[in-house]
Structure formats: C-alpha cells, structure tokens
Structure 1
Amino acid sequence: MQYDVILIGSGFGSLTAAALLAKKGLKVVVLEQAKYPGGCASSYKRKGYWFETGATTLVGLDEHMPLRHLLNETGIELPLIKLQTPMQVHLPDGQLLTRYGNLEAWIKEAERVFGAKGQRPFWQHCYRVSQQVWRTSLEQRSFPFSNVRDLWQAIQQFRPHQSSLLPGAFRTMQNLLRRYDLLDNKLFTDFVNEQLLITAQNHLEEVNELFGATALCYTLFGNYYVEGGMIGLARALELYLHSKGSTILYRHHVNKIIPKAEGYETSCMAGNYHARFVISGIPLNDTYLLFQDDKVRQKLKPYLLPSEKLNGAFTMAIALRKVPAIPVLHHQVHVPEGLPLIGSKSCFVSYSHPADEFRAKAGERVVAISTHVPDPAALRIDDKRQLQEAILAKMEALGLLNRADILYLDAATPGAWIFWTQRAYGMVGGYPQYRDIKPWQMKDARLDHKGAYVCGDTVYPGQGIVGVCLSGIISANKLLRDHF
C-alpha cells in the first residue's frame, strides 16, 4: 500500500506529527516494533493489571502549551482526571513537601520547608520564565533554524516578549540559585537537583535557566491522570489516525531507512514500505544506525551522545491489595544515602487513581516506581533483589505501602528497556540537558533537507511528553512548509 509519510516508532512525538499530517489529508503509517503504542510513555498488561512503563504525570494542556495546541487542532478528546495536588516530595531530612498547583500556595510551602530567604523571588522568576517559554515555543515553530525560510518565518513571528528569554540560554540553574542566594541551602539544592533529574535528566550546574525554570514549574500548570493508564493517550491518537484513513502497524521493527530516487523505503521483517516522506521518532543514536546515507550519518554524528552522558532506568511494577490513605498519586522519595548498586538518590512513584478500575480491580491499586541508572551501558545489574529490597524498605518506612499487601511485583533493568523499546543503551528520558548545548544547537527537525525528518526526546526541545509533543508539532510544520 502506498503512503505519503512513514513514521518510525509510536512515541508521542511520532503520534503528534502523524495526527497533524493526517489532518492535512496525508496518508500516514506508523511502524511500531512493540504490540502497544506510546513508546516510553505507555502502559502494558501483566497478570490482569495495566502497568505504566514508568512513573509519570501529564502536563501540557494549559493555554499556549503544545498538548493543548494538538487537541485544539485535531478535536481529540482524552480520558483525563485533573489532579488537585500534583505531587509530594519526601525530603532527606524526613519532611514531607507538597507541590501545590497554585503559585502562592506553593511559595508558602517552599518558605515553610526551606526558609523564607530567596524563595518568593526565585519561584516568581521561574514561573514567569516558564510561561514565556511555552508561549514562545508555539510562536516560533521554525526553531531551531536550518534554512533561510526558517529565519524569515521566525522574524515574522517575533514578539517583543521573546527577546527577554535569550539571556537564560547562557545561564545555568546554578547561576540562578546563586542570584537569589540559595546555593548554600543544601536541603533546597538537593530538592532542585532531584526534581531536575525527573524533568531535565541532569543537575543544576548543567541545566540552562530556560529549560530548568520551566522544568521546575511543571507542577504549577495543570497536572492530569489518564484513565486506563498512559496508553489511553496513545490510543486516542490512534483512533484519530484511523478516522483519517491512516494507521499504526505493530510488530514492525524497522532495520533500515533507505533513501530512493523518489521518497524513502523502510525495511522490516514484515515487509518493505515506501513513502514520499519519512519521520524518525526514535532516538538519534538509533536513527543514525538505520539511515542508509553516509552524508546524513556524518552530519548526524556530532549530535549523538554516548552512554556515559545518558540515563537508563530501574523500574518496579507493583499491584497492591490496598493502599494506605494517600490522597496524592505522585511522589518523589529522596534516598540521601544512595540506592545500592546504582547510587541514585531518589525514586519517582506513581499510584493508579482509586476510581480507575480498568488498571486494577476495585479495592486494588497498581504502582509504578522508577529511578535513574547513570551510564547504563557500563552498569550491569545481575541481582535486582538488593535494589528492589532497598526501595521497598524505603517505601514501607514512609507509609507508602505495606509489603503484606503486595499481590504482584516485577522489576526491570536498563536491559529490559532495550528489549521493550529498542532504544540505544536502554536510555530513558531522552538526551539530558547540558550547559554547553544551547537550544539552537540541538538537532533540528530536518534530517536530510529532502524529505526525511526527526522528532522525539533527543531533538529540540528535549524531554517529557509535552516536549516531544512540541517536537512532533515542529516536525509536521516543517514538512508541510517545505513541500506543500
């Protein structure tokens, strides 16, 4: 069957681009190696329960944010529950910190826990930056620039408020904390570092102010739970694709992308597919191996990151008979002594909603736990039990679960992530933010300036569902501007 666009992988960047292109009348096919859509932000069924691939929360639905733009453009409706309280953080000193969704309530909580010095102006500044970043990101859909037309469109879309963001690209979060005299507040710097690790995959000395301020403020925007699990997000886009005459083909593992005289051919065990355009929604490391063009690979090589600059994950999926009276679904648990084998100093915990009887029966809950594994290719976890026991002991000590209530438990190392997702090194969260890589130096959506494009969490703007949604918007936008 002839298609206009082939998309590699069904991560949320690919699905976003596919939906927007299908809306314009293009016939698209998404080739997915797994049996479920969604990539790293999905769900899977085991022993009658629906588990998340990792602990996660959903943002991006506020005005001027990418996911809201996608839904407005397509009319897609999602099965969402808005969370009144986005998250709680169990700090190293034993305090419980509540990340309120209201700015004033959050500032008062931050002052209560960390002390009044510097907190109010710091958070007001971060929130102002985050609002401007999201607004600008949708206004400047030609960024990063890779041809003259991009630059011309950027000039046309320029608004005075955008210029105030530029200095933040040259400052790190460490600089920002120093500005507000917060660097000596160890409890606060520990909190910031572990929060940035969730959203930016790195620490305050490496993350630039634009990304860092936005990442720290994600709880100050609408946070949502997807009924039935994160797979509901991907399924909603899949239904939209079908309604437009397009589709997702599962168990289609692409091993080559071959440029042809007209268009591109993808080679799979299930057969070959040809289209005028191709969009790779998988990481750049994997795209580099697939794309059969030496000139393109040579240009792509400087953007690739080795394992020592990436993170993998250790994850746990737990089904519980019951859960203690915990009103907040998402928790970050600090482990100041570091977890055994991997040294990670925090883990992220997500509970299913008590009203969600699709993922677990009435009276039961499922829990996703994830923690970072630095340089995953260099670290082999031969015995998961030691790490598993350390996390369970911490959870039980904090009253987050009782071991006697565990009905099912499974744990996965970065090796399992390689098996599930086929991502190089079992990488999660995309490329971490680094201070020597400015936003305009991140990989642009164009792969060969002919008909091949990229999106996902290793290109601009980076990590998270809302980030990869923006990458999909940009990729679709550039393809349509370049050729239609």
Structure 2
Amino acid sequence: MYDAAVVGAGFGGLAAAADLTYRGYKVVVFEASNELGGSAGKFERSGYRFQSGATVGMGFEPGGVLDNLFERLGLEKPPMKKLDIIMDVHLPDRTIHYYRDRHEWYKEMSRVFEGPGSTFENFYDEVFKVGQLVDQLTDKLPVFPPRTMGDYAYLLTLVNENSLRLLPYMTQTVEDRLKKHGLDQHRMFRTFLNGELMDSVQTSVEKCPAFLGFAALQTFHKGAFAVHGGLAESAAKLAAYIREHDGTILMRHPVHSIEKGEAGFILHSKRRSTFQARQVILNNSVHNLHDTLTEDLSSQSYIRPRKETAKKAWGAYIIHGGVDADVFQNTDVLYHQFIDPHHPDDLHNGGQFLLSLSEPEDRLMAPEGKRSFTLSTHTDITPWWESDHYEAEKRWMKEKLIRTVEHYFGGFTDQLDVVLPGTPVTFEKWLRRKDGKVGGYAPDGKYSWLSSYSIRTGIPDLYQCGDTVFPGAGTLGVTLSGLMAAKQAAKGLK
C-alpha cells in the first residue's frame, strides 16, 4: 500500500511526487512512456535530442517556483542560460526584440510601435502590478476555483488590501484594459499581444480574462532560460530525488483503470498488475479522466464528459528537426516567433508559430556544427481526425512553416538535416493526449475562469494536476498545480 500514487511523470506529477516524498510519504509514479517530463520531455533521433513540446524554462529565477522547489529538495539546478532577449518576434515589416529586462523592453516598444511611448509603458506597468498580485496569491497554493467550504475559508485568509485590487481584473478582459489605455485600435500592438497570449494562455485579447493575461505576460520578464539538454534534464533531477528517497517510478506502466477499494484506490496497470494507494493524483490531463476511472468513480466527479468534450481546446502541429548551425550564425537569439499581421485573428494553423533552437554549444541536443529545432503552431483538432487527405495536409503545413522560416533565415530549407512533423494524431499516439488536445483550455471571455477546473475532481482523495487545471499551461503552471495537489493530498494523509 502506497500513501500516494501519481499517474503521469510530467512536471506536474513529478513536482507533486517530489513534494510528497519530501514530506516523508511513500509514493509511486506511473509513466506510460519510457521518457520523463510529459509534454516537456524529450526523444532522440539521428543523433539529435528533441524536446517534445515546451522548451523555454520558467520559474528558475531566484525565488521562482522551480528555484524554490529545487532549493527545498536540496537539488542543484541543471546548467542553463538566462535569456536577455526572450524571443525575436518577426513580422513582415519589422522584428521586435522581446527583452526580458523591463526598461530595455520599454525602449524597444518605443522603437517598434507607433505612438507615445508612455502609453505602452503605462499598460505594461499595469501588467507587472497585476501579475505580481496574482503571484502573491498562487504562491500560497490555494485551490482555485474553490470547490469546498475549506477552499473558500482558505481564500478568505488571503484577502487583504493587495488581493482586493485584483477584483476589477477578474471582471474584465485584456481588451477592456487596452481600451482603458487607448490602445485597443493599435493594430500592431494588439497583434503582438495576441501572439504572446496565444502562446501562453491559448487565446486572444478579446477573450482573455485580464488577470490571467497579465500574469502570463509578466512571467516572461521574471526570467526565461534555455536549459542545457532541455527541460527533460530538470525532470530527471526530480525523478532522481524521488528514487533516492524511497519513492518508486515505474516507466512504461500505463494505468488502465482506477477503482475504489476498501482501504483506498486500486490502480490497474500492465499485465494485470495492481497497486493500492490511499491518495491519487492524476497528471494525465482532464481529457483522459473518464477513460481512466471506473464507471462508479467517474459518476462521482463533478467533471461531466459531455461538458468537458464541448470545451474549446487546441491541438498542435509540430516539426522537430536538425539543421546546419551556419543558418543562424547572425543571431544569438534562441527563440523566434512568426506572426502574420494580415490575419491577426487567425493565430493558429501557421498564422502564429514558434521556432525554438538549441544552443550552438549544447552537444546533448545536436552534433557539432548542427542545431536541433522545434517549430510549433496551434491547430484545430477535428480536421486531423476527419480528413481523407491527412498526409497531404500534414505535408502542406510542413512546407508552409518551413517556407516562412526560409523567408527570414535564408538557406534554412537547403540545410535541413532531419525533419519530423507531428499532428494531434501524433500527440495522442506518443503522449497519450486524448484527441491530441494540448496546452489546456482556451479562455473564451472575462468570466471563463469561473468554469475552469481546479485540482479537485469531486472524488475524495483523488486529485488532478497539469495544464488542464488552474493555473494552466507551461512548466511553471503545471508545477504549481502539482504542488497544489500535493498539499491537499498531504492533508488527507495526516
């Protein structure tokens, strides 16, 4: 009998398991694949290492979420490079250097956006102010949205003069705040913000709750890092800690079903093996929840299958590849975003996409003289499953993205060494994301946060973490949700 079972070794699951192990509990982690890190994991082909999805390291700055976790566990962070320029944002008529440093960013906004520089500064002053307030709350690991009287009672203890300042931003969208600053008609600035919000919150300014959008926008400026060897190196350190402190990690052990037993839960894995645990934390996406639970347990959850399926969620089209390093010899920037300003409301299917490059000297990621890269864009899910022309669509998207990169970095096409495209079908096959859904749910209005999911499933002693629950996508968000779930599970183990 384990104290806690964690299903899924993504960052949320590993953070939860490491935290519970640190507290002295007996923990087992189940991972269906042979790699750690989930959507921030890795795989290797043809001498290259590729990151499955997320590539920018967040939360490693002093006092950051992952920095605090590593320090508490007594772990040394893997080697990493702090990014002065988070990314270059490429539009047909200009390139925006997205600086981490606040004052450098203010100067850059004055350079690239037409209009009084003070207007953009005032908007970002508000972004930083609100983002800091959100951080102060999430650092306390509340269950949000609250589901029980205890959740509400804990939130009440966090109410003070600062937290009350958040209320107006919980009833407005980012666009409402743009109007307040007279920036809602500034097409280029709006296009830029849409690109950043689509990347981080999966939605655009008119649909994004202001407090969520501002929290996401300010996160880039707290610290962005390129982790040597990829984010999977951080996942490996957390896994090593769990194992070294009597925790168990079972690779290639999918959990097929979970049922309620007399003393806790019974988890069924491969070859009819069973395991028992008093508490369970699911890090395998809300989309997979009802496929994992028995019918009896599923009926107890407040998450209804029909309602969950109806929620808007994106898939991803992704290309992992290798290329000659000479193609990028004129830039030190590792991350590049490409936005089509002629279709600012169409930020998926290649209208907005990211290019992530390995560091030139990182031999874990690529052979000498080569760079590994990832291209990724949001995409609608349904067409990939219904299309009679799947391979043709897959090839068309690949050519579209590569052609765009070639426009800015001449020689890219000719110097390609490895090209491995993937679609939502690929994500379901290899990462077990049902229907290929990735990145959490897309907010669709100022009050959409009210219908988001917390770590609670409605089933006592069974929690969830990951990008489909608050506080959302990205390694920073899923790590926080894992720590929130661990905190509640620990209460049940006392």
- Matched residue SS, 2:372: strand
Root mean square deviation, CA, Å: 2.3
Is residue 421 of structure 1 aligned with residue 431 of structure 2? yes
Cα gap change, 1:114/1:126 in structure 2, threshold over 3 Å: closer, same or farther? Answer: same
Q: For the residues of structure 1 that align with 2:492 and 2:208, how far apart are their CA atoms?
A: 32
Is residue 324 of structure 1 aligned with residue 325 of structure 2? no
Equivalent residue in structure 1 for 2:309, among 288, 306, 311: 306
Deviation of the 1:98 alpha carbon = 0.4
Higher mean Cα deviation, 321-330 or 63-72? 63-72
Q: Which residue of 2 aligns with 1:8?
A: 7
Cα gap change, 1:400/1:69 in structure 2, threshold over 3 Å: closer, same or farther? Answer: farther
Q: Which residue of 1 aligns with 2:408?
A: 398
Q: For the residues of structure 1 that align with 2:448 and 2:71, how far apart are their CA atoms?
A: 30
Give, as a single letter, the amino acid of the residue that structure 2 aligns with 1:312.
G
- Matched residue SS, 1:300: coil
- Matched residue SS, 1:409: strand
Q: Which residue of 1 aligns with 2:103?
A: 104
8 Å CA contact retained: 2:286, 2:468: yes
Q: Which residue of 2 aligns with 1:372?
A: 378
Q: Which residue of 2 aligns with 1:259?
A: 260
Q: Which residue of 1 aligns with 2:290?
A: 288
The aligned runs of 1:193-342 (5 Å cut-off) are: 193-270=194-271, 271-294=273-296, 296-297=298-299, 299-301=302-304, 304-306=307-309, 309-322=312-325, 323-325=327-329, 326-336=331-341
Q: For the residues of structure 1 that align with 2:410 and 2:133, how far apart are their CA atoms?
A: 37
Unaligned segments of structure 1, at least 5 residues: none
Q: For the residues of structure 1 that align with 2:57 and 2:84, how far apart are their CA atoms?
A: 13
Q: For the residues of structure 2 that align with 1:67 and 1:293, how far apart are their CA atoms?
A: 37
Deviation of the 1:305 alpha carbon = 3.4
Cα gap change, 1:295/1:29 in structure 2, threshold over 3 Å: closer, same or farther? Answer: closer
For residues 38-91 of structure 1, give each alpha carbon's deviation from its aligned partner in whole angstroms, at most 9, with x where no partner exists.
111111111121011125311113455422332232122221221222111002
Q: For the residues of structure 1 that align with 2:425 and 2:457, how far apart are their CA atoms?
A: 29
Q: Which residue of 2 aligns with 1:38?
A: 37
Q: For the residues of structure 2 that align with 1:49 and 1:379, how far apart are their CA atoms?
A: 32
- Matched residue SS, 2:76: coil
Give, as a single letter, the amino acid of the residue that structure 1 aligns with 2:314.
N
Cα gap change, 1:355/1:226 in structure 2, threshold over 3 Å: closer, same or farther? Answer: same
8 Å CA contact retained: 2:324, 2:416: yes
Q: Which residue of 1 aligns with 2:391?
A: 382
Q: Which residue of 2 aligns with 1:77?
A: 76
- TM-score of the two chains, using structure 1 as the length reference: 0.94
8 Å CA contact retained: 1:65, 1:135: no
Q: Which residue of 2 aligns with 1:348?
A: 354
Give, as a single letter, the amino acid of the residue that structure 1 aligns with 2:427.
W
Is residue 139 of structure 1 aligned with residue 140 of structure 2? yes
Q: Which residue of 2 aligns with 1:58?
A: 57
Q: For the residues of structure 2 that align with 1:166 and 1:303, how far apart are their CA atoms?
A: 31
8 Å CA contact retained: 1:140, 1:157: no
Q: Which residue of 2 aligns with 1:361?
A: 367
- TM-score of the two chains, using structure 2 as the length reference: 0.92
Deviation of the 1:454 alpha carbon = 0.9
8 Å CA contact retained: 1:49, 1:360: yes
Higher mean Cα deviation, 417-426 or 443-452? 443-452
Give, as a single letter, the amino acid of the residue that structure 2 aligns with 1:309.
K
Q: Which residue of 2 aligns with 1:90?
A: 90
Unaligned segments of structure 2, at least 5 residues: none
Q: Which residue of 1 aligns with 2:170?
A: 169
Give, as a single letter, the amino acid of the residue that structure 2 aligns with 1:361.
P
Q: Which residue of 2 aligns with 1:124?
A: 125
Quote the sequence identity (%). 28
8 Å CA contact retained: 1:64, 1:134: no
Is residue 477 of structure 1 aligned with residue 487 of structure 2? yes
Q: For the residues of structure 2 that align with 1:233 and 1:210, how far apart are their CA atoms?
A: 29
Cα gap change, 1:182/1:113 in structure 2, threshold over 3 Å: closer, same or farther? Answer: same
8 Å CA contact retained: 1:395, 1:401: no
- Matched residue SS, 1:306: helix
Deviation of the 1:335 alpha carbon = 3.1
Deviation of the 1:442 alpha carbon = 2.6
Deviation of the 1:440 alpha carbon = 5.1
Cα gap change, 1:72/1:438 in structure 2, threshold over 3 Å: closer, same or farther? Answer: farther
8 Å CA contact retained: 1:303, 1:442: no
Cα gap change, 1:257/1:338 in structure 2, threshold over 3 Å: closer, same or farther? Answer: farther
8 Å CA contact retained: 2:302, 2:458: no
- Matched residue SS, 1:228: coil
- Matched residue SS, 2:377: strand
8 Å CA contact retained: 2:41, 2:52: yes
Cα gap change, 1:324/1:129 in structure 2, threshold over 3 Å: closer, same or farther? Answer: same
Deviation of the 1:219 alpha carbon = 2.2
8 Å CA contact retained: 2:254, 2:270: yes
Higher mean Cα deviation, 228-237 or 397-406? 397-406
Q: For the residues of structure 2 that align with 1:439 and 1:309, how far apart are their CA atoms?
A: 13
Deviation of the 1:303 alpha carbon = 9.0
Deviation of the 1:355 alpha carbon = 1.9
